């Protein structure tokens, strides 16, 4: 790791972040779902009400990888959490400790921010990642499944009529 550093992304880094997001989508076999644009990311990350943060792993002037994350909240713990949405290391930099360094960086942020937990999802077929995460002390939760509503289904759900409990009898 010559001249390695991790730094918060800046607005000028958005093209590199989008490039890595597209690389992640390709790796996960989900390119057909990747419709984000530079404008979308610029607004979501650096607009008046940022929705997420990104840190970039650099080797010299080259981007080696990134992590995109945001705050969530645990009602059971009564404390915020840090949720890692995406972690990606460019193929040329894999196996050299960049993913581990990004996760350590985020764990430190979670501790500094007094988070009760640091969590993320992993695809069930990605055994290499699962093994890597377990080696860091992470637990892969067997009883939980991600539930998602998007696109037309989200629009339909949002436009449904709200009924009072009395109307449901």
Half-sphere exposure for 146 (CA within 13 Å, toward CB): 11
Q: How many CB atoms lie within 10 A of CB 52?
A: 15
Q: What angle do CA 46, 34, 64 make, to 5 degrees?
A: 65
Q: Read out DSSP for 16-74?
A: HHHHHHHHHHHHTT-GGG----HHHHHHHHHSSS---EEEEEEETTEEEEEEEEEEEEE
Sheet holding 53-59, edge to edge: 4-8, 53-59, 62-74, 79-89, 117-120
Integer distance in angstroms from the first to the last C-alpha of the chain?
Answer: 65
Structure tokens at 159: 């436009």
Catalytic residue among 56, 133, 143, 163: 133
83 is catalytic: no
**Residue listed under structure tokens 């991790």:** 6
Instruction: Cite the active site residues.
Output: 133
């Amino acid at each position: 790791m010559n001249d390695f550093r991790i730094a918060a992304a800046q607005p000028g880094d958005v093209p590199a972040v989008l490039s890595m997001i597209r690389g992640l989508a390709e790796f996960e076999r989900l390119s057909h779902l990747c419709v984000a644009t530079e404008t979308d990311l610029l607004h979501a990350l650096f607009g008046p009400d940022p929705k997420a943060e990104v840190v970039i792993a650099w080797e010299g002037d080259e981007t080696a990888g990134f992590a995109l994350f945001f705050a969530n909240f645990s009602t059971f713990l009564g404390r915020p959490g840090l949720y890692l949405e995406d972690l990606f290391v460019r193929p040329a930099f894999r196996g050299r400790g960049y993913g581990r360094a990004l996760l350590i960086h985020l764990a430190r942020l979670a501790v500094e921010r007094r988070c009760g937990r640091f969590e993320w999802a992993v695809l069930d077929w990605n055994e290499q990642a699962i093994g890597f995460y377990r080696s860091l002390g992470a637990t892969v939760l067997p009883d939980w499944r991600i539930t998602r509503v998007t696109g037309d289904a989200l629009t339909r759900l949002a436009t449904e009529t709200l009924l009072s409990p009395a109307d449901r009898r």
